[in-house]
Structure 1
Amino acid sequence: MKLHCEVEVVSRHLPALGLRNRGKGVRAVLSLSQQTPKNPPRPPAGGERGGQHPACLLISTLKDKRGTRYEQLKENIEQFFTKFVDEGKATVRLKTPPVDICLSKANSSSLKGFLSALRLLHRGCDVEAPLSTLTPVKTKEFEKFKTKMVITSKKDYPLSKNFPYYLEHLQTSYCGLVRVDMRMLCLKNLRKLDLSHNHIKKLPATIGDLIHLQELNLSDNHLESFSVALCQSTLQKSLRSLDLSKNKIKALPVQFCQLRELTDLKLDDNELIRFPFKIGQLTNLRFLSAAQNKLPFLPSEFKNLSLEYLDLFGNTFEQPAVLPVIMLQTPLTLLESSARTILHNR
């Protein structure tokens, strides 16, 4: 039984010695393995089943594939910390040696199953899932920790296997996608998603479940809208960069202005006929590009933006039929101004 995650082993003796742990986990494979004694006993007579050998916890990393072994599990776990298990985090506190095994970036369902097996072994019970053998972890096991994947052709697109769970950057361009692959929406660590140069017509609201997503590139697709559901999702807190250029969008909903963490917005080569009238609420926006659209005017709140870069080339801005007449007032002379002040203050 194995679990892929990040692991940090913290000794509880360090604070007493005035030392600190480095506070950073490493990619690791945790295995619940069956220990095999050096001199295995002869099988019992009469076909009776012998007792199982004790299990151990093996933590293997890319640098140490043979791993660190914690042999005693029965009645040796002091406490489980599982408050954030749904986020893929947990801590197992051992009595001997006095260490805390901190787990993070794990698949939440796999983590729950692994912790359940640990509890059973702590109580001295048998585990239903088969335990692995005590062998060094192979290098290919660590390929599951891949954090970046770039696919730029249809023939390389994975059809029969899932994307690596720990991906943080995924690009699938020129793959002929007509919809967002739902397997992508299970990548909870995703920070950058590039779906440019495809044929996507509609975005699923579940993209908003990618709570860490900071960059979303949807340029050169067939989008006609950006849904209200996405504007009201967790993207409000995470999304920094959005590229919707080269699509068929005519207007953005007013709720789009709730994406207040946006700093970079590209809307070039669409069919935009207006900006949302509350666009001034995008107070963090610094780079805005909306060239080659059909904008006739800018909303009054546009003046509230604090932009460093603005491109509105190639829009159909209308000239007002009648230019406003501004009545200029001649300033008062110093003599008249002082006289009025004396009268006013008596």
Structure 2
Amino acid sequence: MKLQCDVEVVSRMLPSFGLKSRGRGTRAVLSIGKHPDKTSPRCHIYLVICTSKDRAGAKYKLKDNIEKFFTWFVDEGKATVRLKEPAVDICLSKADSNSLKSFLSAARLASRGDESSSLPLSTLTPVRSRDVEQPKRKLSIVSKKDYPLTSSFPSSLEQLQVSYCKLSRVDMRMLSLKALRRLDLSNNHIRRLPATIGDLGCLSELVLHNNHLEAFSEALCLSTLQQTLQLLDVSQNRLRRLPPRFSQLRHLVHLKLDDNALVCLPFHIGRLSRLRLLSAAHNQLTALPADFRRLSLENLDLFGNPFVQPGPLDHTLRLSFPLTLQETASRAVASLRIPYGPHLLPAQLCQDLDLAKTCDCGGVCLGSYVQTAVSMNLHQVSHTVVLVDDMGGTHAPVLQYFCSLSCYSLFLDQDLQRGGR
């Protein structure tokens, strides 16, 4: 029986000498097995603790020698075994909880003197140095010649950078790293992202700067990334649009979209309530979505976009008289917040409902509306604003929708009144 974990052996005699333990464990391999006794023909069962400094291991007899088990935090991979002789506490931490429970069960049986075949024993031999190394948390590969072709990535990785390796796709071996918090695949040739990136349940930072991405999958927006992703960098790619449900990534704090070919920002971008840094410079944006007004940012960069400053009567008229039955029903579903989904409605209709537009009157419209744009000072949504153009401007056009001609006419009258003051 073997167990890999951090171990600290604490003598209970230390306080009597006015000393304290260092309170820090060492990576070790624990084994339970038989070892011949020179003073007796019988083989006794020992607990052996092997570390990088002592690969042969320190041996502790188990039979009738365990005073107590402390297992309050065994589900967190922590436990303590108190021995009678010598008077030490063996403190275990950072262990797999299931393996730890099995190991403690075997130690309990050995302490009782059970030597039946059901007791899983190991061969007590010196361990390999790699077995007692500290788990690797961070790995950076910035050259193709250093990229592992046959060996796997350490399963303990929390940060992984693979850059300048000319990767054309995401290596599936990376997607098995369940502890991964930051994945940096910048400066490669990746064209698409597998939906299984969304299975990385701890991923909070995803950096894809300077690749060949042409789309960002909607499946990623509906994955566990909704709860974990805080930083997303897809700058210097080939993106033209982001999926309608991009706003489901509601834990985003930092979003970099620079140097793509984006013609619009996500329709419901205002739902990203935690977003504080947004950079979308050098794209093809001519106007911002209406929901943009709801953002509360610390830093905003929209420099180098071909924004078209709106004229007083510029508008797009897409009204139908009378409203179609589909439009009327869709407005009712959106206004009353009636649950819907592909199991209830056609997929296209679900997508239309996802992009429902809000009128100034508070009403909702889908396919029948009047669209115009108004100029907005970007300081209304951000503390710091990078100038929109070389002329020193901080204004940009924001789309606005109206569910009827009467609402649009009221807006024009109010706009004229403001202009006359």
CA-CA distance at 1:266 after TM superposition: 0.7
1:124 to 115, 125, 136: 115
Give the Cα separation in 2 of the matches to 1:314 and 1:322. 24
Residue in 1 that maps onto 2:35? 35
In the alignment, structure 2 segments of 5+ residues that lack a partner are 15-19, 314-411
Determine whether 1:289 maps to 2:279. Answer: yes
Secondary structure of the residue that 1:216 maps to in structure 2?
strand
Secondary structure of the residue that 1:160 maps to in structure 2?
coil
CA-CA distance at 1:134 after TM superposition: 5.0
Deviations 1:326-346 (A, max 9, x none): 314999xxxxxxxxxxxxxxx
Residue in 2 that maps onto 1:173? 163
CA-CA distance at 1:279 after TM superposition: 1.0
Residue in 2 that maps onto 1:335? none
Deviations 1:243-295 (A, max 9, x none): 11112222222322222222111111112111112111212211111111111
Determine whether 1:133 maps to 2:120. Answer: no
Determine whether 1:250 maps to 2:240. Answer: yes
Distance 1:272 1:177, change over 3 A: same
Residue in 1 that maps onto 2:77? 90
Secondary structure of the residue that 1:275 maps to in structure 2?
coil
Deviations 1:109-131 (A, max 9, x none): 86677567657656533468772
- Work out whether residues 5 and 92 of structure 2, in 8 Å CA contact, stay in contact via their aligned partners in 1: no
Give the Cα separation in 2 of the matches to 1:22 and 1:283. 44
Give the Cα separation in 1 of the matches to 2:158 and 2:238. 28
Determine whether 1:219 maps to 2:209. Answer: yes
CA-CA distance at 1:201 after TM superposition: 2.2
Q: Which residue identity lines up with residue 187 of structure 1 in the other structure? A: L
The aligned runs of 1:1-346 (5 Å cut-off) are 2-7=2-7, 26-39=26-39, 41=41, 53-62=43-52, 69-72=59-62, 76=66, 89-92=76-79, 94=81, 96-97=83-84, 101-104=91-94, 106=96, 121=110, 123-126=114-117, 131-133=122-124, 135=126, 139-143=129-133, 145-322=135-312, 325-328=415-418
- Work out whether residues 221 and 247 of structure 1, in 8 Å CA contact, stay in contact via their aligned partners in 2: yes
Give 1 or 2: higher strand fraction: 2
- Cα root mean square deviation, aligned: 3.8
Secondary structure of the residue that 2:416 maps to in structure 1?
coil
Give the Cα separation in 2 of the matches to 1:227 and 1:73. 59
Give the Cα separation in 2 of the matches to 1:238 and 1:39. 59
With normalisation by structure 1, the TM-score equals 0.73
Deviations 1:167-203 (A, max 9, x none): 1111111222222222222222222111111222222
- Work out whether residues 237 and 259 of structure 1, in 8 Å CA contact, stay in contact via their aligned partners in 2: yes
Give the Cα separation in 2 of the matches to 1:105 and 1:293. 49
Give the Cα separation in 2 of the matches to 1:100 and 1:292. 60
In the alignment, structure 1 segments of 5+ residues that lack a partner are 15-19, 42-50, 332-346
- Work out whether residues 75 and 124 of structure 1, in 8 Å CA contact, stay in contact via their aligned partners in 2: no
CA-CA distance at 1:56 after TM superposition: 2.8
CA-CA distance at 1:209 after TM superposition: 2.5
- Work out whether residues 12 and 100 of structure 1, in 8 Å CA contact, stay in contact via their aligned partners in 2: no
Deviations 1:121-152 (A, max 9, x none): 565334687724254x5543344612111111
